[in-house]
Structures are given as C-alpha cells and as structure tokens.
C-alpha cells in the first residue's frame, strides 16, 4: 500500500504535475489528495477521451508529461484518441495512465465490471501500451520502482504507458475541501416523489450508480414488477437507450439521469430533442458530483442544464429543487406532448445501507421485455 501523498509527491519528483481524468472508486483517495493539492493543475474531465485530449494539449504547450486517471470501464472512451493521436506512430505524446482495475478475476465485483476486468490487460497489450500492475501487497518502495520504470519508458519512447491499480492500493485520505449540502431534497427523496406521481406502467431507464440502486430498492420494498431498465454500465448512455425504446412504444418512457452522466455524452441531448418523441421524458438529478465513486465534483452546479436542454431543442424544459416544485414539474412534463426535460437539483446524501440488485442484468432484461412487449 501507499499513501496518496507519497504517490503524488513521487510523481512531482518526475515533473508530473498536471492531472486529469474521470473519478473511480478504487482511486478515490488519490483523487481526493490531488483535488486538495493540485488546485489549478487538476481538471476532472467530462469523459475519459476528453481527458486524453486535455493531456495532449498540456504536453504540447509545456513539454511535460501529464497523468490521466480512470476506471478501466473508461478504456472504451480513450481508445480512439490514444491510437489516432497520442500513439507513437502518430503524434507520439508521452503520458502516464493510472487505471483502476475493477472486475479483476478472483475479486468479487458487480456484473458490469467482470468482463472489463477480465479483458483489460489484453486490451492494453493489443494497443501496445506498456504497463505495470501495482498490487495491494506491494510495498511503497516496490510501487515507486514500478512508477519509475513506466516514467522512464514514457520519456524515452515518447508514448503513453500505464500503471494498473488493484483494489486497496491507496491508504485512506480525508479530503480537506468537503462538499456542503445545498438543496432540500436528496436524490432518493426526489426519486420517490417522481415514482409516486407517474403512471405505474411507465417505462423507466435509470442511469449508472446510485440512481439505479435506489430505484431497484424502491421496487423491491413495494413488491412491484415494473418495466425498468437499470443502466448498470455504459455511463452517459441511459438517455439514448430510453430514446431507442420510445421509438417503438406509445406509453411514457422516462429516463432518470444524472449530471455526471449527461456531461459525459452531452451531444445526446441534441439527438433526443431532434427526434421529438411525444412520449419521451428526460429527468436529470443534478447533485454536482460523481457520488457513487467518491463524491468528486462535476460542473453540474456551475451550469443550467435545463437551459442547455432548451437550446438543444427540447420543447419543454423545467428546473426544480423542492418537493412542491418537483410535483408541479412532473405534472407538466407528463401533460406535454413532446420531448420534455426536467432538471432536479439535489444534495449528495446517499444512505450507507443502500442495497444492491439481487437480480442479474439478464433477469432484468427478460423482465423488462416481457412487460413491454406483450
């Protein structure tokens, strides 16, 4: 194991002082430390591909090696910019990738991480990216030696290299800049209000992380079988899944989304609006955070997502942050005959005892399809 402080300071000794990426639960203590100490030299990117682009720009303007952090589920987002821009056969951009290894074979994890964890090392090999695995059994000296080897390769070969991080490599770090609650409702509060004010046969597509877990627990507690799709992976794609369903169905299709998810693939807003399905409703819980991987901030509270949706072409856009406002807004978007968007501003306050689904994704798929294709 190693402290985030020691890891960070070791990178500084190699003149690696710019950090960007998308937060990961296995890297959260390192991310906390970077957020507290790197200040303006740290940017939490909208998606992992954007982080690679930021790193390229930083290197071109400084001639210094940047660090990019990500969960291995984000490998798909970095393949194109890595191979078509950063690769040594194209622009030859040196950078250090720090990758959290979710779904490592033999380690218990969620279904959406298992395949990614199993194939990740082969993916890196196929992209000809050299890497070291940092294990939780490694001493601090061993970890620093592995970093040294990768940084040496990066600087000599002028190419991206990676360190793959197992679970529990980083010691706990208590972040200094703790986020304060700003709004009345938690996401779970708002979710319950919405579920109690929509048609029971509405098709719901919920985004990754806590939103799907809260929806699943609500259904379980109420012993109800509903046409819900839990987007357990593929962060940023829930709204397009919902749009695809709405094309073939007349009943209401409601996407329960998050600010981090929307930011990751914001171009989908324009596509959703352009199709203008009357039964398509898009609800975004904006808590200004990547809550399920450590509560690192997004830019959600710095922008007005309802206005972005409006100018993307949604025919009705609303914003709410109290129970009364949410109830009124839900009524309006359900009555509206066109693509509607509701941004609900909430606080980050997820229960520590929130349960996880005990059904497999295949069981979820079969139940959904049996309920909507009768």
- Domains in the chain: boundaries: 4-165, 187-372
Read off the pLDDT of each residue in 122-136 and give the average, rounded to a whole number: 97
pLDDT confidence tier of residue 355, bands split at 50, 70 and 90: confident
Whether 4-165 shares its CATH topology with 187-372 is answered yes
Phi/psi-derived region of residue 106, left when phi > 0, alpha when psi is between -120 and 50, beta in every other case:
left
Judge whether residue 176 has pLDDT over 90.
Answer: no
Judged by average pLDDT, the poorest of 103-107, 326-330, 348-352 is 348-352
Could you identify the residue written with the tokens 């049996």? 370
Helical spans, DSSP H, in the chain = 4-13, 28-37, 48-62, 75-81, 111-126, 140-157, 187-195, 210-221, 238-246, 259-264, 268-275, 305-312, 323-335, 361-372
Grade residue 175 by pLDDT with cuts at 50, 70 and 90.
Answer: confident
How long is the chain? 374
pLDDT grade, residue 17 (50/70/90)? Answer: very high
pLDDT tens-digit series, residues 271-286: 999 999 999 999 999 9
DSSP codes of every residue in 348-372: ----TT-----S-HHHHHHHHHHHH
* Topology given in CATH for the domain delimited by 187-372: Rossmann fold (3.40.50)
Max Cα distance, the chain (Å): 63
User: Given this structure, which CATH class describes domain 4-165?
Assistant: alpha beta
The whole-model pTM stands at 0.93
Distant-in-sequence, close-in-space partners of 263: CB < 8 Å, separation ≥ 6: 46, 47, 236, 298, 299, 300
């Amino acid at each position: 194991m190693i402290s985030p402080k020691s890891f960070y300071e070791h990178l500084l000794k190699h003149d690696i002082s710019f950090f960007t990426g998308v937060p990961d639960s296995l890297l959260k203590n390192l991310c906390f430390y970077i957020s507290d100490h790197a200040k303006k030299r740290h940017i939490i990117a909208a998606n992992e591909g954007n982080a690679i682009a930021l790193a390229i720009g930083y290197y071109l303007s400084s001639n210094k090696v940047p660090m990019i952090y990500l969960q291995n589920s984000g490998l798909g987002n970095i393949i194109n910019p890595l191979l078509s821009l950063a690769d040594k056969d194209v622009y030859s951009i040196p950078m250090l990738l720090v990758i959290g290894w979710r779904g490592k074979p033999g380690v218990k994890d969620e279904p959406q991480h298992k395949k990614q964890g199993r194939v990740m090392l082969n993916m890196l090999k196929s992209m000809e990216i050299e890497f070291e695995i940092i294990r939780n059994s490694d001493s601090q000296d061993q970890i620093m030696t592995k970093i040294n080897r990768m940084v040496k390769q990066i600087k000599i070969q002028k190419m991206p290299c990676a360190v793959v991080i197992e679970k529990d490599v980083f010691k706990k770090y208590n972040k200094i800049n703790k986020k304060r609650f700003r709004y009345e409702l938690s996401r779970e509060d708002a979710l319950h209000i919405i579920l109690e004010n929509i048609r029971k046969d509405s098709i719901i597509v919920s985004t990754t992380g806590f939103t799907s877990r809260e929806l699943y627990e609500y259904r379980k507690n109420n012993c109800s079988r509903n046409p819900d799709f839990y987007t357990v992976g593929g962060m940023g794609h829930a709204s397009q899944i919902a749009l695809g369903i709405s094309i073939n169905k007349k009943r209401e299709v409601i996407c329960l989304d998050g600010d981090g998810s929307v930011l990751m693939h914001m171009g989908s807003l324009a596509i959703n609006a352009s199709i203008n399905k009357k039964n398509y409703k898009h609800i975004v819980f904006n808590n200004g955070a990547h809550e399920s991987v450590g509560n690192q901030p997004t830019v959600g509270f710095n922008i007005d997502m309802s206005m972005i949706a409006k100018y993307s072409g949604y025919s009705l856009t609303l914003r709410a942050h109290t129970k009364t406002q949410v109830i009124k807004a839900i009524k309006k978007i359900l009555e509206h005959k066109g693509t509607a968007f509701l941004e609900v501003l909430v606080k980050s306050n997820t229960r520590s005892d929130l349960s996880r689904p005990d059904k497999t994704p295949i069981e979820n798929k079969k139940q959904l399809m049996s309920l909507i294709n009768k």
